[in-house]
Structure 1
């Protein structure tokens, strides 16, 4: 039987809710109660659709600190879990084929140096040796960052939750939060089909559903649901070795990594594809955007550029197409921290980087919830940094979708 109150209540059991639960459980005073409430089954919504590239080099120092904290969290989880997490630390290979990409490579190398990360220029032969499917051409140049990696996002989320449960966190599944309880201008709990729960602090990690939930209380979440999609090729272990690196292709807004003997590759839409946060289904599996729902237009638009560096694309079959939802903000940075409603914190708007940022976001939210100074600068992520916006308007949703279309990094 569940208690009708708790000290900390986390809405959402995806990667951010899971990371926050674990970080909070490590820091709360003895006897403090933490409850996580998930609408469906934990880590099965947007988390399960992520490509999960863990790239350390970020131009914003606070973002870089967040990713570094995720790697630290993985190391710490491995010391307490029965089985180590399946981190594939294969490095990232950044290939440029024109001047824009070469500028990006130089900026990445400079930032890596500032962060104390090693990066190396690669010859064409080295590129082909690391990634046999990749053809750099005569003008191609590449940078390799050895400390980057990727992993299964569901297993990372489950790792956070397993460790959190061992520290006493209560996890309730199949229990959708329908509304917040507000008394005298303060959030004091939530209402679900299973009843009401009161809490001293509420942390909303409900992903793209956060916008509609919180709009009822005058909180404008400056983000929109934007399509994030990728394809997985048929298996070909010789062409796609399991230990080959992730590949970032800045000139064609694409990325790739090994996936069960095949190649997972993503293209960012040149034409903005977005949804309506006020009209999202409870279960997003099978959800398709109304523009180019099967991704063929996007693949066709990027096919010529992609096949130039991936000539085997002409022969390798496509085994799977995954279309998911990412919550994008206009500047591509998450919305984290306090809101104008006392008692309510949020973590959302990760703009396709939630897996890589998860450890840092969890720690930051835990520190804010406990009234401590966050380990890195919170200003770039303030929820109110865009002012009052209409996050459901067509113009704003296009603005958020363009943030994805113009993204060239991993």
Structure 2
């Protein structure tokens, strides 16, 4: 099939590609042609594997602005979609007993106040009322942030896409971008499994596949494919009511939220667990990482700390395990903006926060593609902020994996 040239071509129909398409369609000049090209089906790769915690409190104001824009985007989408998006704005409960964890809670409370978000300290009885599965002690400190929430990541991506389609965005699925086309020093289109597609501007939102694709053009993305994984307990509706909040456990390096009658909980690997961007398969479902392929070592190492506050896990057991890929940068912030090659922009490296950041990422990329004034400071997300890197080297991939290991927030 012969595809006509387009003004903007977005590689990837996951959450970032979908959000960028919708933001572009709202801001681009009338008559602009926008196309999303997805290798498989929309939002079925890394987006579908996300735990999708929408935590608004971030110490970096620019990161906080991206998340705030996602909540604003959800409000906007609800005005144009036939059905409201299933945002569960149940808040987040942060619990700590150790000094390092308590310091994190105090920092979170201070950041919430700066951002104008609601946060309150809870006693043990209030903790139990919010989350019946969670056991607190007299020495514990607990902070509740009321404005946080979570939602199904695929439904949010589909919401962006549905709204984008209504504004004229073209969606091409089951079409893999195999290479970028560069002529006279700028990107002029892409080579796909269905032939050449010419474009004035190309925005790469291809997740972990972006590294290899852009490396062929001499662009080294400072990110690595790192394991994100979580478990889901057996059902117990008394312990896990649907309106209970997300829980962040900095002492256990864990997070949790209700999920279809059970509890979804994630533990962060203390050893670096990462993949190779040069050999990622087209289908990453079931992808095995460099070590601990089934997550048992991570679960065993974090089990004692988790069981201290979640003793019911001993009786409930584990019903499901899901392992996915997150593109992590050394500082845990995304890679957003214009590359050194004219006509080529990137949105990737969201470090496990792509769902929460999606609305802000989409708006920022749209504004940069249109050469408009960005709505927030984009310097923290600059592609070149780490200097020259080799994303295929093992040392660099370990560096990125450690960014996930050291993460304390949701």
User: Do structure 1's residue 66 and structure 2's residue 69 form an aligned pair?
Assistant: no
Partner of 2:286: 286
User: Do structure 1's residue 404 and structure 2's residue 383 form an aligned pair?
Assistant: no
Instruction: State the Cα distance separating 1:321 from its structure 2 match.
Output: 0.2
Runs of 4+ more than 6 Å apart: none
Question: SS state of the match for residue 306, structure 2?
Answer: helix
**Structure 2: distance between partners of 1:320 and 1:230:** 9
Partner of 1:43: 43
**Structure 1: distance between partners of 2:172 and 2:237:** 40
Instruction: State the Cα distance separating 1:205 from its structure 2 match.
Output: 0.1
**Structure 1: distance between partners of 2:395 and 2:287:** 22
**Structure 1: distance between partners of 2:313 and 2:24:** 45
Instruction: State the Cα distance separating 1:193 from its structure 2 match.
Output: 1.5
**Structure 2: distance between partners of 1:193 and 1:264:** 38
Instruction: State the Cα distance separating 1:290 from its structure 2 match.
Output: 3.2
The C-alpha deviation readout for 1:111-138, integer Å capped at 9, x for no partner, is 0000001100000000011101000123
Partner of 1:172: 172
**Structure 2: distance between partners of 1:341 and 1:283:** 29
Partner of 2:268: 268
User: Do structure 1's residue 99 and structure 2's residue 102 form an aligned pair?
Assistant: no
Check the 8 A contact 1:23/1:362 in 2, yes or no. yes
TM-score, with length taken from structure 1: 0.99
Instruction: State the Cα distance separating 1:97 from its structure 2 match.
Output: 1.1
Instruction: State the Cα distance separating 1:2 from its structure 2 match.
Output: 5.5
Structure 1, unaligned stretches of length 5 or more? none
Check the 8 A contact 1:4/1:196 in 2, yes or no. no
Partner of 2:194: 194
Partner of 2:315: 315
**Structure 1: distance between partners of 2:96 and 2:35:** 47
5 Å-filtered alignment, 1:3-402, equals 3-402=3-402
Structure 2, unaligned stretches of length 5 or more? none
Question: SS state of the match for residue 315, structure 1?
Answer: helix
**Structure 1: distance between partners of 2:289 and 2:132:** 34
The C-alpha deviation readout for 1:350-393, integer Å capped at 9, x for no partner, is 00000000000000000000010110001000001111101110
**Structure 2: distance between partners of 1:151 and 1:111:** 23
Check the 8 A contact 2:2/2:195 in 1, yes or no. no
The Cα RMSD (Å) is: 0.7
